Amino acid sequence: MTTATLKSRFGAFTRHGVAVSYALLVVLIVVAVILNPAFASWANVKAQLQIATFIGIIAIGQTLVILTGQIDLSVPWNLTFSSILMATLYGEGYGFAVAVGAALLVGIGVGLVNAIGVAVFRLHSLVWTLGMNALLEGATMVYTNGQPPDSTIPGFVRFLAVGNLGGLPVAPLVWAVLAAVTILVLARSRFGRFLYATGNNEPALFLSGVATRRVHVGAFVASGVCAVLAGILLTGYASQTYLGMGNDYLLVPIAAVIIGGTNIMGGAGGYVGTIAGTLIVVLLQSILSIAQIGQAGKNITFGLIIIALVLLYAREARPTD
Amino acid sequence: MSLRRYRSSLLAVVGLIVLLGYYWYQQPLILSPFGFRLLANQGTTLALAALAQLTVVLTGGVDLSVGAIVSLSNTIAATYMGDSPASVVGVVLLTLAAGSAAGLVNGLLVAYGRIQPIIVTLATLYIYSGFALLIRPQPGGSVPGYYASTLTGAWGYLPYSLIVLLVVALCLRMPIMRSRLGTAIYAVGDNPGGAHMSGINVPRTLVSAYVIGGFLAACAGLFLTAQTTSGDATVGTSYTLNSVAAVVFGGAILGGGRGVALGPIVAAFFISIIVSVLFAAGVSSFYQSVFQGAILIVVLMFGNAWTLRARNRLAVLRS
């Protein structure tokens, strides 16, 4: 069986997968409301969306990278380093634009280096981005001397993270805008099509005259910038920056992408599914909290659900067909 | 025996020799029995974890649950070991069985569930670390002193940890990898369809490889327990990604089919010792992660530098 037919089969699974993940989302909402009617309150919905925003924004970058058949493991310390840099620069009296601009430059730089390793040196992103993560962890330690940084949070960042606009929370609105752009780019732009094509068959795309290295650059830079944006929002939300603030944001967004039906080997899927995946992981965490299941039970349930979902809709064709 | 088989390990071997040479220059005491013991103990856990990772990587997969199995083994051993030699032996066997069972679940899901290995092991990472937390919600527990000293002690210049590692690598793993099963593991990693056509039972081979991986990860957990003499449900976390790094640095190909044990073992020692070397060289501890990351990155680029010289970009893409 060739890769191409394998992937086209996966395409069918994926459309199916998006439907299944939205169905599961509805079931989870019903379960949550039955367990605790206050779950449907506007205050709680806002709180859940707030948490989902960080994961959802990181998952944008992760979706793009995974569509090309790669993965970005440099998110945690990219997020931490850029947030600390932003807060420290602002605290030292540099303006808002300089502080946020510097953070974004870090994200772009990390994305570029990730893309160079993957596209030029043809290294596996699993190890290359991991090395970047270690390097950024070290950079953070050197920059902060290992001390929790004194952070001053720009007012506008606070507003983006926890503010309200016409009764609606701002952070989920930011997420909604970014999500809409992502879905449009994936569905309608040349770059979007190239992302899928790179994941499906990069040599063929290269032979069609496409600069495939630039596609990798686009995906990884997007992921780097998304991690920085999530970090900025998280900083505003927590009103502080701290070492290790990104540690919870490595595997959960990747799980959200997988649950949303994107093929981990690239080439099939999309952000519509990832949105469902993001909401599912967030809801699951809070349902398990409502049911007063401890961390151990949470981990076990989380793992079982990933397996159950993937068994439902993301099985591969038999290699022996 | 053809030496060419071991050419992929060259980078790691040269790296470790240079590193040890520099360490000796900075800190001549490492050539003492005590220094030998210290060096050997530092790398053994990761070397065992790297062997576990290598076995799975050879099939074309990757095992993200290695660290969780290390943690699980550590919590089982430190919680139930007791003091009598009989209970120690019993719990060691129980731990090895638990690790193998964890590998069996991974293998069944990959081979018969037909789920991508990276997804299966991402999910079981959560499940196994959940079980580790159930067994030991708070760090603690203990192992008898003679258990720790049997594994981490030394006889003159000969550290026991090195014997443990050699026994596991040469007397347990090597015969398997040289057997029909071992050949099948390499074949499945290289080309599953071709392996099937040659009459190899692909699913059964995959399951066996993951069981061996789980067993070896449990060995790593048991050795780690002898070092720390207590249990902690998160102690193994760093071993997942470091074992992948050791396997790649050691010359195995993510994607399967190629790699020998020597490289990853040597690379595991390199990765484990480098922190002490930087410390001995007077590098501030804040710079240590920078160096660790930078060295990994430079080594990776060095290993793939041929892509820059290649005339034919298509050949590079297909590599």
CB-CB under 8 Å, A258 with B297: no
Find out whether A233 and A53 touch, Cβ atoms under 8 Å.
yes
Q: Is B264 a residue whose pLDDT tops 50?
A: yes
CB-CB under 8 Å, B254 with A120: no
pLDDT by residue (tens digit) across B23-68?
Answer: 888 888 888 888 888 889 989 999 999 999 999 999 999 999 999 9
Q: Is B293 exposed, middle or buried (0-12, 13-18, 19+ CB in 10 A)?
A: buried
CA distance, residue A162 to nearest chain B CA (Å) = 31
Residue B17 belongs to some domain of the structure: no
Residue A107 CB contacts under 8 Å (≥ 6 apart), including other chains: A78, A82, A221, A224, A225, A226, A227, A228, A229
Amino acid at A113: V
Mean pLDDT of A22-47: 89
C-alpha span between B175 and B185 (Å, rounded): 13
Q: How many CB atoms lie within 10 A of CB A40?
A: 11
What average pLDDT does chain A have? 88
DSSP single-letter state for residue A121: S
Q: Is A27 a residue whose pLDDT tops 50?
A: yes
Q: Which residues of B touch A318 (CB under 8 A)?
A: 114
Chain B interface, best mutation among A130, A144, A263, by max B CB count within 10 A: A130
DSSP 3-state percent helix, strand, coil across chain A (nearest 5): 75, 0, 20
Give me the number of domains chain A comprises. Answer: 1
C-alpha span between B294 and A12 (Å, rounded): 42
Least CA distance to A198: which residue of chain B? B317
Q: Is B255 a residue whose pLDDT tops 90?
A: no
**CATH number, position A246:** 1.10.3470
pLDDT by residue (tens digit) across B299-317?
Answer: 778 777 777 777 777 777 7
Residues 148-207 of B with CB under 8 A from A: 192-193, 196, 202
Residue of A121, A206, A311 with shortest CB distance to B115:
A311
Residue B20 belongs to some domain of the structure: no
pLDDT of res. A9 = 45
- A256-260, A297-301, A315-319, B9-13: range with lowest mean pLDDT: A315-319
The DSSP result for A274-285, as a single string, is: HHHHHHHHHHHH
Residue A291 belongs to some domain of the structure: yes
pLDDT of res. A289 = 83
> Between these two residues, B293 and B266, which has the higher pLDDT value?
B266
Residue A309 belongs to some domain of the structure: yes
pLDDT by residue (tens digit) across B79-118?
Answer: 999 889 999 999 999 999 999 999 999 999 999 998 889 8
Q: Is A8 a residue whose pLDDT tops 50?
A: no
CB-CB under 8 Å, B118 with A316: no
Residue A268: C-alpha distances to residues A142, A191, A281 (Å): 40, 15, 21
C-alpha span between A62 and A269 (Å, rounded): 12
C-alpha span between B125 and A38 (Å, rounded): 33
C-alpha span between B236 and B49 (Å, rounded): 10
Q: Is B164 a residue whose pLDDT tops 70?
A: yes
CB-CB under 8 Å, B196 with A319: yes
Find out whether A120 and A218 touch, Cβ atoms under 8 Å.
no
Find out whether A120 and A59 touch, Cβ atoms under 8 Å.
no
Sign of the torsion angle spanned by Cα atoms A166, A169, A175, A180 = negative
Residue B318 belongs to some domain of the structure: no
pLDDT of res. A318 = 64
Residue B113 belongs to some domain of the structure: yes
Residue of B119, B292, B304 with shortest CB distance to A134:
B292
C-alpha span between B298 and A176 (Å, rounded): 39
Residue A197: C-alpha distances to residues A6, A72, B192, B245 (Å): 14, 19, 24, 29
pLDDT by residue (tens digit) across A140-181?
Answer: 988 988 887 777 888 888 898 888 888 889 999 999 999 999
Percentage of chain B lying above the pLDDT 70 cut: 99
Percentage of chain A lying above the pLDDT 70 cut: 93
Residue owning tokens 């991986």 = B213
CB-CB under 8 Å, A307 with B293: no
> Between these two residues, A321 and B165, which has the higher pLDDT value?
B165
Mean pLDDT of B181-210: 93
CA distance, residue B243 to nearest chain A CA (Å) = 10
Q: Which residues of A touch B50 (CB under 8 A)?
A: none
Percentage of chain B lying above the pLDDT 90 cut: 54
Residue B126 belongs to some domain of the structure: yes
Residue A320 belongs to some domain of the structure: no
Instruction: Characterize the bridge pairing of strands A164-165 and A168-169.
Output: antiparallel
pLDDT of res. B63 = 94
C-alpha span between A199 and A267 (Å, rounded): 4
Is residue B134 less than 8 Å (CB to CB) from chain A?
A: yes
Residue A321 belongs to some domain of the structure: no
User: Is residue A174 left, alpha or beta, with left meaning phi > 0 and alpha meaning psi from -120 to 50?
Assistant: alpha
Instruction: Characterize the bridge pairing of strands B158-159 and A168-169.
Output: unpaired
Identify the three-state secondary structure at position A147.
coil
CA distance, residue B26 to nearest chain A CA (Å) = 23
* Chains A–B, number of C-beta pairs less than 8 Å apart: 170
Q: Which residues of B touch A135 (CB under 8 A)?
A: 289-290, 293-294, 297
C-alpha span between A221 and A216 (Å, rounded): 8
Residue B72 belongs to some domain of the structure: yes
Amino acid at B253: I
Chain A interface, best mutation among B300, B313, B314, B318, by max A CB count within 10 A: B300
pLDDT of res. A1 = 38
pLDDT of res. B27 = 83
CA angle A160, A165, A167 (to 5 degrees): 130
Residue A318 belongs to some domain of the structure: no
Residue A144 belongs to some domain of the structure: yes
Domain around B67 = 33-265
Q: Is B319 a residue whose pLDDT tops 70?
A: no
What element of type H or E holds A169? strand A168-169
Mean pLDDT of B177-195: 92
Domain around A122 = 3-313
Residue B273 belongs to some domain of the structure: no
CA distance, residue A158 to nearest chain B CA (Å) = 30
**Per-residue three-class SS string for chain B:** CCHHHHHHHHHHHHHHHHHHHHHHHHCHHHHCHHHHHHHHHHHHHHHHHHHHHHHHHHCCCCCCCHHHHHHHHHHHHHHHCCCCHHHHHHHHHHHHHHHHHHHHHHHHHHHCCCCCHHHHHHHHHHHHHHHHHHHCCCCECCCCHHHHHHHHCEECCEEHHHHHHHHHHHHHHHHHHCCHHHHHHHHHHHCHHHHHHCCCCHHHHHHHHHHHHHHHHHHHHHHHHHHHCCECCCCCHHHHHHHHHHHHHCCCCCCCCCCCCHHHHHHHHHHHHHHHHHHHCCCCHHHHHHHHHHHHHHHHHHHCCHHHHCCCHHHHHHC
- To the nearest 10°, report the CA torsion of B62, B68, B70, B71: 170
Residue B274 belongs to some domain of the structure: no
Residue A8 belongs to some domain of the structure: yes
pLDDT by residue (tens digit) across A70-123?
Answer: 999 999 999 999 999 999 999 888 889 999 999 999 999 999 999 999 999 888
Residue of B132, B294, B314 with shortest CB distance to A135:
B294
Residue of A128, A203, A310 with shortest CB distance to B300:
A128
pLDDT of res. B294 = 83
Is residue B93 less than 8 Å (CB to CB) from chain A?
A: no
Give the model's confidence band at A306: pLDDT under 50 very low, under 70 low, under 90 confident, else very high: confident
Q: Which residues of B touch A254 (CB under 8 A)?
A: 122
pLDDT by residue (tens digit) across A189-234?
Answer: 999 999 999 999 998 999 998 999 999 999 999 999 999 999 999 9
Give me the number of domains chain B comprises. Answer: 1
CB-CB under 8 Å, B286 with A142: yes
